[in-house]
Amino acid sequence: MKRIAVMGAGSLGTIFGAYLVKAGQDVELVDAYQDHVDALRTTGAHVVGKAEMTVPIKACTPENMKGIYDLIFYMAKQTFNDTAIPQMMAHIDEGSVVVTCQNGLPERPLVKAFGPKRVYGAPVGWGATFRGPGCSELTSDPAVMAFYLGSADGTVTEKLLETKAVMESMCPVHLAEDLMGIRWMKLLVNASHSGLSASFGASFGQVWDNTQSMRLDVKIGAECLAVAKALGVTVAPHSQAGDLREIFKAGSEAELYHSMDLVRSAWKSQRGLVASMAQDLAHGRRCEIGAINGVVCECGREAGVPTPVNDRVVSVVELIQDGDLTGSFDNLRFFKDLI
């Protein structure tokens, strides 16, 4: 693991790379945003927020990658998969490992490209916000930051343990024997909260304060749980909310209203946040809806489980993405039959 790349050096990648370099790792940040790469090369990776540091660092755009990397941390959004996967393929060999830190179920396309032996999954247990070229804000308390790490085929190998040691340059890394349980936990939260934030161009708190959108939030979570169960996946407990199977119940009106209260309470500290998908849409960029709510729908079709609310979220967000709608609560009209 001598030569390391962070592919997709945005909000998370900039901070992760800075921590690795500070710990003495040989790391190169790779990103398509030329101004960001220029700033990283000239002034270093600048971290603000819950941690403050500026670290001199190597950086390049994908077309300027050279040679073979032993370890690539893949932190770009899944919207870049079609471009980034071939770029990574050109700079790995049989001994290389690709670790995906993306949202959704990112191991699926990577295993198709690289095979299960060379793909690890690392769900991220901390947050960041991109502040401009060369600068990213750490929004999580370093004392509670963590990664989870597991192999796509569930095995624990020497290389997996070597990768774990590299990542611990930043924060604790928990080996995940049940990687899919953790992935579905994070996917459920993103699909319910972020999918609706993108649909309505709203903060999480605004979604939860509206009774109609709050009902949809719980129903999305319930659909995720049903699909995961059909696939034989037990959704892992959430670090602050606990057992999501006890929170996202939408069978009766009484269960639904109780679940609404539980969601508002469990995530009250995140009321002011706006999903990155909503931010992408507001700036005219494509978002990860296909990799979040979309993958729930895809898995639902594979398992024979209906996902009507997730299906509708995907349709609405795609209309916003194509410029045919704007994100607002006027879009509740598209969900009227599902509320």
Identify the CA nearest to 88 among candidates 98, 78, 80: 98
Q: How far apart are CA 173 and CA 161, in angstroms?
A: 10
Q: How far apart are CA 170 and CA 336, in angstroms?
A: 46
In this prediction, residue 304 carries a pLDDT of 97
Q: How far apart are CA 10 and CA 285, in angstroms?
A: 15
In this prediction, residue 204 carries a pLDDT of 96
Q: How many CB atoms neighbour CB 154 within 10 A?
A: 12
Q: How far apart are CA 257 and CA 8, in angstroms?
A: 40
Written as one letter, the residue type at 272 is G
Identify the CA nearest to 185 among candidates 235, 110, 241, 135: 235
For the record, the structure tokens of 130 come out as: 């991109």
pTM for the model stands at 0.83
End-to-end CA distance of the chain: 51
Q: How far apart are CA 106 and CA 254, in angstroms?
A: 36
Tokens 């009321």 correspond to 271
CA dihedral 129, 294, 110, 23 (to 10 degrees): 20
Using CB atoms within 10 A of its CB, is residue 113 exposed (0-12), middle (13-18) or buried (19+)? middle
Predicted confidence pLDDT, tens digits, the chain (339 residues): 789 999 999 999 999 999 999 999 999 999 999 999 999 999 999 999 999 999 999 999 999 999 999 999 999 999 899 999 999 999 999 999 999 999 899 998 999 999 998 999 998 988 898 999 999 999 899 998 999 999 877 789 999 999 999 999 999 999 988 889 999 999 999 999 999 999 999 999 999 999 999 999 999 999 999 999 999 999 999 878 899 999 999 889 999 999 999 999 999 988 998 998 999 999 999 999 999 999 999 999 999 999 999 999 999 999 999 999 999 999 999 999 999
Identify the CA nearest to 170 among candidates 136, 148, 146: 146
